[in-house]
Chain A
Amino acid sequence: MVRIKGSATSIDLFEGWWTIARNKVSTAVSRSPKGHPIISHCFAAITRVLEIREVFIVGYYDEAVFRDFIKDCGRTHPSISVKYLREYQALGTAGGLYHFRDPILKGRPDRFFVLNADVCCSFPLEQMLRMFEEKDAEAVILGTRVPNEAATNFGCIVSDAHSKRVLHYVEKPESHISNLINCGVYLFSTEAIFPSIKSAIKRRSDRPRLVSYPSSETLDNQYLPPSRDDDDDDDGEKNQIIRLEQDILGDLADSRQFYVLETKDFWRQIKTAGSAVPANALYLMKAFQQQSEELAKPSATILPPVFIHPTAHVDPTAKLGPNVSIGPRAIVGPGARIKESIVLEDAEIRHDACVLYSIIGWSSRVGAWARVEGTPTPVREHSTSIVKNGVKVQSITILGKECVVADEVRVQNCVCLPFKELKRDVQNEVIM
């Protein structure tokens, strides 16, 4: 079961991107946009729902990645059990749930939430629970409205305007279906979801080569020889990726009591590293509205919201904000300017440098009078790329770990992979 295909260079590229993605998710634990792990925002929402007793974190990462986070959770919320379930191969969201059905069902829960950790929103879990009870539902999904042009990038939900029942669900449709989209947060009854997954798996085994999904992955599968033997050996489970979005939700809409809770609050997917900047801005804005003590005090040189880690050093003549996070031990020199950006730990921004709409990676250095710049994307626009001279480029500039931008150099709309030194101006490039 080899799933990675392509030439050596594309694998290299994949590896490179992976580094960023991996660092980003370890961000999920050790560092984050607003100085909190991304996953901690999910956990904070979970702790507000008193009924929740158990939390499982499911992922491919090594157990060590989540160890500290789980330890911290145990300390702050001793009444909640937090466990990590490691997937050793990609099973898909539904496949993963099904694979771990025993530990999940062990405590005999009658329903459970599923949260995608790469989502940034206010997680109105209690409202979802209330709707579940009011409607006597079997499944509740969190939805949000996006502009029509953006909707087809997401799972689209058609619901009854009055009852809020989900009538139809399509993942990333080619044509416009609805502008109410899947936020990646669900509440399922155990009695409904596991049988649904099981029947999806069965359907797969009976009719293993589905061609109706317009994804490249399915197209690739069409050219694989039928592998009946594997199916028999592995109980038809392990070699089948079953995804909640593509394989389950559509059926739930047909056959189950499936409802949607529409959130009017902020929502954004943190899929690429670039989406971290607008996602961070949303969290900072929310913290600012709640007058969080964690944020830096507004002044002539601090345009709120700005988060500065207590161990960071920011020169008083530097001007920061809005929507800026400065990580632990980062140094910001005199007369520097940082706006709509994330500066991760141990990074240094030297005097008179200017950082706009960018992420400065761990231990990276931006030289004096250098300019690191992305292009603003409106928060409402769920896209992390822009079109420049007819070419699609990354809107946010991202410097990976330990990158160096030389004095006076300008970097615009670039992704710079770790350990690179930029000595001359670059724009619209991925620097490998």
Chain B
Amino acid sequence: MKALILVGGFGTRLRPLTLSLPKPLVEFGNRPMIAHQIEALAAAGVTDIVLAVNYRPEVMTAALKKYEEQYNINIEFSVETEPLGTAGPLKLAEKTLGKDNTPFFVLNSDIICDFPFEDLVKFHKSHGQEGTIVVTKVEEPSKYGVIVHKPDHPSRIDRFVEKPVEFVGNRINAGIYILNPSVLQRIELRPTSIEQETFPAIVKDGQLHSFDLDGFWMDVGQPKDFLTGTCLYLSSLTKKHSPLLTSPSESFVNGGNVMIDPSAKIGKNCKIGPNVVIGPNVVIGDGVRLQRCVLLQGSKVKEHAWVKSTIVGWNSTIGRWARMENVSVLGDDVTIGDEVYCNGASVLPHKSIKQNVDVPAIIM
């Protein structure tokens, strides 16, 4: 089977992290985001993966080489010379996606969930029509594009309603699809949107179905959602009793959902959790309090600091008695001084912060 992952541009929404590393390689739950998707695709029997990108950094080529070998799959880059939207890249990769008559997966690279690829294939084959899109239930459908089914059918889509004022349904497009190669005939090689042009056309022919997603789902394309997505992901691991998590019987673990890389060092009298990810070679000093945060590889939190709702970038350091909160994001190699308070600070790589950031701000 085949799959296309829509990676796109420079991941500006996830800056300052994406100033140092392409978005697909930013670690989510201590693994590059794209590794979650590749692993799930490979497990479902996918052998050919196309990455639709606007640019191809060297570091990504090297990283993906590793996955090719690890999972025994082919990964190719499909580079757009100009942005082609969400449908154009499918046409650009027609040679691979249309090489045989089997359906192919399409997914947005920002999506984190329990990828249901095997069930999705079964369902798609069972209705035998052109396309299936994965949908997820949301509490506030008015913020999204909502899917409305045909009155006489549980899965056949009737129409899409963008940001409905009145309640028409609570299922939204989850950014994961399985499509027959025939869909490629519907797309022209120009900047075009799969959601706004391709799907309505398939719906018109009554050929598009929806597939309900079980469990968590999150678009982690920006820091706030990245943290929320981390909480959902860790909760789902807890539910599965995953060995990736640190046992809640550890004295410093508070409230569970804590993932600590074995190479990380934890000080005395710390209180860690809930919802914390600690990356490789991270050093945590004595008396540190961590909750709802992600510490990326090589970062350091010094004694008595307090960190909440924060992403600490690679090799960054947080000073003693510092306090970080409200979606602060530190880029690579940032230093936060002792006793400094950061409220929603986005700090660009290599900066040193010596004074409080009292209100959310970008620190250049």
Alpha-carbon distance between A388 and B356 when the two chains are bound, in angstroms: 13
- Which B residues touch A319, using CB under 8 A? 320
Task: From B287, B320, B358, give the contact of A351 (CB < 8 A).
Answer: B287
Q: Is B242 located at the chain interface by the 8 A CB criterion?
A: no
Alpha-carbon distance between A369 and B272 when the two chains are bound, in angstroms: 13
Task: From A334, A369, A388, A389, give the contact of B306 (CB < 8 A).
Answer: A369
Complex interface bits, A388-422 against B, C-beta within 8 A gives 1, otherwise 0: 11000000000000000000101010000000000
CB pair A337–B287 under 8 Å, yes or no, is no
Q: Is A371 located at the chain interface by the 8 A CB criterion?
A: yes
Task: From A371, A389, A408, give the contact of B341 (CB < 8 A).
Answer: A371
Q: Is A352 located at the chain interface by the 8 A CB criterion?
A: yes
Given A369-B306, A371-B323, the answer on whether A352 and B339 have CB atoms closer than 8 Å is: no
Q: Is B321 located at the chain interface by the 8 A CB criterion?
A: yes
Task: From A334, A335, A339, A351, give the contact of B339 (CB < 8 A).
Answer: A339
Closest chain B CB from A287 CB (angstroms) = 24
Q: Is B304 located at the chain interface by the 8 A CB criterion?
A: yes
Q: Which of B240-297 contact A (CB under 8 A)?
A: 269, 271, 286-287, 289
Closest chain B CB from A410 CB (angstroms) = 7
CB pair A354–B289 under 8 Å, yes or no, is no
Residue of chain A at shortest CB distance from B270: A352
Task: From A335, A337, A388, give the contact of B286 (CB < 8 A).
Answer: A335
Q: What number of A residues sit within 8 Å (CB to CB) of B? A: 18
Task: From B304, B341, B358, B359, give the contact of A352 (CB < 8 A).
Answer: B304
- Which B residues touch A352, using CB under 8 A? 269, 287, 289, 304, 306, 321
Interface contacts (Cβ under 8 Å), in number, total 44
Residue of chain B at shortest CB distance from A337: B321
Task: From B287, B289, B359, give the contact of A334 (CB < 8 A).
Answer: B287
What are 14 contact pairs spanning A and B, CB under 8 A? A335-B303, A335-B304, A337-B320, A337-B321, A352-B287, A352-B306, A354-B304, A354-B323, A356-B339, A369-B289, A371-B341, A388-B358, A408-B306, A410-B341
**Given A319-B320, A356-B339; 19 other pairs, CB 8 A cutoff:** A335-B269, A335-B303, A336-B304, A337-B304, A337-B320, A337-B321, A351-B269, A351-B287, A352-B269, A352-B287, A352-B289, A369-B304, A371-B306, A371-B323, A373-B341, A389-B359, A410-B341, A412-B341, A412-B358
Which A residues are closer than 8 A to B by beta carbons?
Answer: 319, 334-337, 339, 351-352, 354, 356, 369, 371, 373, 388-389, 408, 410, 412
Which B residues are closer than 8 A to A by beta carbons?
Answer: 269, 271, 286-287, 289, 303-304, 306, 320-321, 323, 339, 341, 358-359
